[in-house]
Structures are given as structure tokens and as C-alpha cells.
Structure 1
Amino acid sequence: MRALIRSGNPKTLSFTTDFLEPTPEEFADHYIIRTKTTALTRGELTWPEPLIPQTPIPGFDLAGIIEQAPTKPANRSNAYKPGDEVYALSTFSWQGNAKEITVATEEELALKPKNVNWEEAASVPLSALSAWQALFVHAKLQPPSPNSPSANKGKRVLITAASGGVGIWGVQLAHLAGIEEVVATCGTSNVEFVKSLGADTVLDYRKIDVLEWVSVKREERGFDVILDCIGGQTLTDVWKCARKGGRVISVAEPPDPKKPADGIAEGVESTWYIVTANGEQLTEITKLIEERKVNGVVDSVYMLEEYKEAFERLEGGHARGKVVLKVA
């Protein structure tokens, strides 16, 4: 089958047409899935976990059609059946999904939203789950709920790189969860786009320094939760943008080494985490997509054979949303 594999240097990629398909005997406790699309993540070719398999394959977002359900244990009751259209974030320590046939566990899967195409579906899992877990697991904010619309009243949230994969979902989910004010940073060309996602205030980082902006009215403009998707100097600066008892959450790099020696409010804590596959959370996100309350954003689509161009677009740092590979 067709596949994109990594060999030699961790960043070396090659395309093959004779990669061996997973067999039902070998993966009797997994779903075997025909891949329609996968999405790429900036920096994934530097991650250590995907190098664990003997033949690493990129692309950890998955959208496809189930070909075979698990057969072991013999008495199991499968939640999905052949022909079901599904999507998932698959575990980073196994092969990715840039291949025609892939596998996934039941815990990773959710039914694909009925109102999106394959390319849009692949843009969702990793980014949406990253934002969901940042806001509603690690920051302990209340998830979107029509039964408790005021649960997050008074909370202020900052999201950096808000036009990127995780940032897009952070803004949408924070807005939908009733955050009192969602502030986002992005480049000039994306300001109106980020506003359309639900950000109350958008700061053009080319014109406005977020730390200076907060410092003008520290008590009024400080944040209870900061989701940083950039790292580097930005991560150092946002420590000083948190309110007393606030939390700095990073998906870019560990926050503690970037913590300034002074200028931080009392009781500010940090979280560094790696997103985990979670079919239950993805199912909640599916409901919101089908209700047209949130949506994924596709920057560009490439055929599997065009992987070089896809990664060039991705690593250029200016993609709005996800770069998707069309596998079938």
C-alpha cells in the first residue's frame, strides 16, 4: 500500500507504494481503517515518541472508514462496525496515519461529524482535543453546557497564536463556554478571522506587545487562564500577564524554565502537557460541530505524494488552521 515513512535522520521522509498492510490476525484487538485523510502538525518530525516504532509514519490525525472491527476478545461488543465513518487522534507512540490502511483502538475513535468532509474532519482531533484538555481539564473551566451558561462568568482567557491549529479551537471553545472575555493574539492578516471565531479582543502581535498591553491596566486586563501556543519569549512574557491564582498552560514547551524571576502575581501556576487520545471528549466536540457551534479550519490540502510541499507549507509558520494530506 501507499505510505509516507521516516527513515535515517528523524526528519527524512520518503514515499513508498509497497508498505505492508496491517493484518486482522496481527491487530485482532484493533479496528482496521481505510484512511481517507490525515493532518500534519508543525514540529512533529522532532517529537521523540513517533520514533518508537521500527518504521515511523507521520500524521496523527485520522479520518477514514472502518474495514474490520476487533475480533478479540471473542465476546467483546464493538461500538463501531465496518462501514462506519470515524475520526481520531491516534497515539504518538505508534505509527501515524499517512498510509492507506491504519489501525486504532476503540478508546481513540469517534464517529465523524456528518456535516463535514474528509479534509475538514482530519483538521479536528489533535487540535480540538489539545484545546479542550487545556481549558476544561488542566485549567478546570466548565465545558460548554446549556444547563450552566454562567459557570465561567468573570473569567478572562488569553490565547496566543490564535490562528494556528490549537489556537483556533481555544478561541472557539472558550467563547462557547461563556468566558467573560477571550483575548487572542495573531498576525495582521488574521485579525478579522480570529474575531470571527469568537474572540472579544484581538491583539495584532506585529503592532501590540501583549505584556505592555496588560501592564497598562494590570488588574483589569490580567488573565485567569493563559493558553500559550508559541513558547520562547512569548511564554516568558505571559507569565506576567496572569492574575493572582491564574494558570499558564503551554502546548509549545514547558513553562517553568521560561518563568521570570520577578513580576509574577501571587499563586500563578503552570501546566505542561501532551494531548492524549480521547474518544469521549472527541464525541463531545463532534456534537458541537454538528450543531454548527464550532468548526475546524483547513489551511491547505495536498495529495500524499505531495508531502514535501505539505511540510514546507506547515513549517513556514503561517498556515491558518491545518495542513491536510489526502490519502484516498
Structure 2
Amino acid sequence: MATTNLPTTIKAVYQQDPKLTTLKLLQTPIPKASGPEEHLVKIKATAPCLGELGWEVNFPSLFPPNRERVPGTEAAGIIATSPPSSPFKPGDEVYFRLHARFPGCLREYTIIHTEELALKPKTLDWIEASATPLSTLTAWQGLFTQGILDKKGISGDADARAHNSKLRVLITGASGSVGAWALHFAAAAGAGAVVAQCGSFSIEEAKKAGATEIIDYKKQSIADWAQEDASREVDLVLDCVGGPTLAECWSAVKKNGVLLSVVGSPDELKPGSVTKDLAKSTWFLMDCKGDDLKEIADFIDERGLKPQIDSVVEFEDFQAAYDKVEQKKAKGKVVIKVDI
């Protein structure tokens, strides 16, 4: 199935040299969807990811040779063409995070695969929807796929909520894009305690999201907080900060607990004085799962939640948008309008 009157050429932004973060706008042929899972999607907006322009240099094995270097791994848009067996049809409004090895979303049309797609939350506009997939998938999978909370607790499943109620969860960087979503998910699933590590300026927001305990990093380290009271130890840590903060999380996690980070390897930062063994300690990357995004969309629509947006820029300002993200000057997501 296909939308009629598709253009033959489109505007697309390329990273021509993987060693450089400079981008260039070009006019290129519209991509062709050919595989049984491939959809041509008209992009409405996309959001840069921190470090994205260095991935090919830092993780070369993940990328095919001579790939088409179009950045932008999360976006929202409208299905233009879909394969016959697809659950999605032309005209469907979707949001997604695509695998980084594929050409991205910083162009007017791109190819998205069935497994990556979900209908966008009805309560989010295009800007908000484009800023949501990566952060929510990371938080969701950190708690429910990699972590030990049961997602069925969100829907009220009694056994799941009984299980979750026995667990204490610590989320570092709780005022950031991933951490804030993790607070909402953990609280909604019925975690026995949701500990948020954040700054003074974010305490009220963290409590609104469901935090039951606060560690103000401007006043106290995680290690000092944990050592004040042995009962503060947690069963699960989802670290969104890395570095010294991740190292301190070893003081807070219980023996045989789970320590996850989206930033770095917990084992590499394990203090020499720590002797406890954990059931799991790992750095993980989120998976581009449309099925998870479908559940997340339902969650967002039911609760009227919104992503953190730093700023919105026009398509032609793509370089400034990426520079701001790379320089860590953004508080929340920077969104690039492609066709709004």
C-alpha cells in the first residue's frame, strides 16, 4: 500500500565523515522501501541523541561498510508506504526508534521496520512524540526487561504488584529524560520504594513522578546516604549518570541485587573496598522494540505525561541542534522540525 504523489527527491542531512560532527544538507533520491518489513515514513520531527555522531568511530563493528550516514535515530511521522503483511497502513501516525546501523530520520522520508514501529501516543503532538521513544524505551527496559520489576504491575496485576512491592529501586539522574520516565514507570508498577537521586531544583518534580525517597546530590553522596542506614539498601539500581555516581551505587545496592547503567560498565567502576556479589551488574543498550512503545503509548495517554523538551529548531538549524546536544547544553530534548 502506498501514498500517492510521492516526491522523487528529498532534503536529507548527512554526516559525510564519521570522524567529524559536521553535517551537510543535500538533495537526494527518495529512499525505496523494498523488504517485507520496510515502511517508507514521512518524517515530521526528530531528536538528536548525545554521542550519536561518534558511534561509528567508537563502535565500528555495529555499522555496515559504506553505510548511508543520515543521523537521527528517534522520530515521529506518517506511514507513506507499507508492505502487504504490515499491521501499519499509509496514513498511520507513528513514533519509533530505529537501529543506528540504518540511515536515520534527519531527512524528509526514511525507511522504518515493522519491529521498530508503534502508533504514536494520541495525547502527544509531533514535537513531543519525536522526543519520546529513546528515553522511554531505555527507562522501560531498564526496569522491566533488564531489571527485576514486573511491568504487569502497571495494569494492576495482583501478583506483579505483590512482587514489586517488596523491591526498593534507586534511579540516578532522576531529573533527566531517562530518569524522569523511570520514576513514573517504577511508581506506577508498585515498587515498594522509589529512590530518586537529583538536585534540589528537581525534588518536587521527582516526588510528583512517584519518588518516595530523595538523595539530593548537591548535599549528600549516594555512599553517605546508604551508609547512614542499612535499611536504605536497594534491590535494583538504574544508573543514568555514570562516573563517580555509578561507582557510589555499589554502596547502595544489596548483596545479590541488580546494578544497571545506561552510561558505563558498573564492574569497571567497582570500588576496591566492595566485596559483595550481585545477581547482575551491566551496562545495557535499549532495544528498538515497537511492542514496548505500544505499551508506553498507552501509559502516556492514560496519564497525560509529556517528555522534557529543551528547545525546538527549524530543519535548517540541524547543525546548531546537534552542537547543543553534543556540548551537553540541553536540559531535555532538542527537537528538529522536519515537516511541521
> Fold match, TM over 0.5?
yes
CA shift, 1:125, in A, is: 1.0
What amino acid maps onto 2:192 in structure 1?
Answer: E
Distance (Å, rounded) in 2 between the aligned partners of 1:317 and 1:190:
18
Distance (Å, rounded) in 2 between the aligned partners of 1:193 and 1:20:
46
Distance (Å, rounded) in 1 between the aligned partners of 2:23 and 2:115:
30
Deviates more, 1:294-303 or 1:85-94: 294-303
CA shift, 1:249, in A, is: 0.2
| Alignment of structure 1 residues 164-175 onto 2, 5 Å | 164-175=176-187
- Work out whether 1:79 is the aligned partner of 2:87: yes
| Partner deviation per Cα, 1:59-110 (whole Å, 9 max, x = no partner) | 111200000112xxxxx42201100000111011111211110111111100
| Cα pair distance change 1:199/1:312, threshold 3 Å | farther
| Cα pair distance change 1:288/1:54, threshold 3 Å | same
Partner of 1:147: 157
| Alignment of structure 1 residues 175-194 onto 2, 5 Å | 175-194=187-206
Distance (Å, rounded) in 2 between the aligned partners of 1:184 and 1:80:
38
- What is the alpha-carbon root mean square deviation over aligned residues? 1.9
- Work out whether 1:6 is the aligned partner of 2:15: yes
Distance (Å, rounded) in 2 between the aligned partners of 1:316 and 1:12:
11
- Work out whether 1:23 is the aligned partner of 2:32: yes
What amino acid maps onto 2:189 in structure 1?
Answer: A
Percent of aligned pairs with the same residue? 37
| Cα pair distance change 1:267/1:275, threshold 3 Å | closer
Deviates more, 1:159-168 or 1:286-295: 286-295
Distance (Å, rounded) in 2 between the aligned partners of 1:4 and 1:176:
39
Partner of 2:7: none
| Number of matched pairs | 321
Deviates more, 1:89-98 or 1:148-157: 148-157
On the 8 A contact 1:60/1:96 being kept in 2, the answer is yes
On the 8 A contact 1:242/1:264 being kept in 2, the answer is no
Partner of 1:227: 238
Distance (Å, rounded) in 1 between the aligned partners of 2:217 and 2:270:
21
Distance (Å, rounded) in 2 between the aligned partners of 1:232 and 1:11:
25
Candidates 125, 129, 144, aligned match of 1:121: 129
CA shift, 1:27, in A, is: 5.1
Deviates more, 1:229-238 or 1:260-269: 260-269
CA shift, 1:31, in A, is: 0.5
On the 8 A contact 2:21/2:54 being kept in 1, the answer is no
SS of corresponding position for 1:212: helix
Distance (Å, rounded) in 1 between the aligned partners of 2:155 and 2:109:
37
Partner of 1:109: 117
| Cα pair distance change 1:54/1:268, threshold 3 Å | closer
- Work out whether 1:39 is the aligned partner of 2:47: yes
- Work out whether 1:58 is the aligned partner of 2:71: yes
Distance (Å, rounded) in 1 between the aligned partners of 2:236 and 2:194:
10
On the 8 A contact 2:18/2:53 being kept in 1, the answer is no
Partner of 2:6: none
Distance (Å, rounded) in 1 between the aligned partners of 2:291 and 2:315:
29
Query: Structure 1 regions of 5+ residues with no counterpart?
Result: 71-75
Distance (Å, rounded) in 1 between the aligned partners of 2:36 and 2:164:
44
SS of corresponding position for 1:220: helix
Partner of 2:226: 214
| Cα pair distance change 1:51/1:187, threshold 3 Å | farther
What amino acid maps onto 1:285 in structure 2?
Answer: I
What amino acid maps onto 1:21 in structure 2?
Answer: I
Distance (Å, rounded) in 2 between the aligned partners of 1:268 and 1:156:
15
Distance (Å, rounded) in 2 between the aligned partners of 1:135 and 1:84:
29
Partner of 1:90: 98
| Partner deviation per Cα, 1:249-283 (whole Å, 9 max, x = no partner) | 01101222112222243445302221111111111
Deviates more, 1:257-266 or 1:246-255: 257-266
On the 8 A contact 1:240/1:265 being kept in 2, the answer is no
What amino acid maps onto 2:55 in structure 1?
Answer: W
Deviates more, 1:149-158 or 1:306-315: 306-315
CA shift, 1:34, in A, is: 0.3
Query: Structure 2 regions of 5+ residues with no counterpart?
Result: 1-9
Q: What TM-score, normalized by structure 2, do the two folds share?
A: 0.88
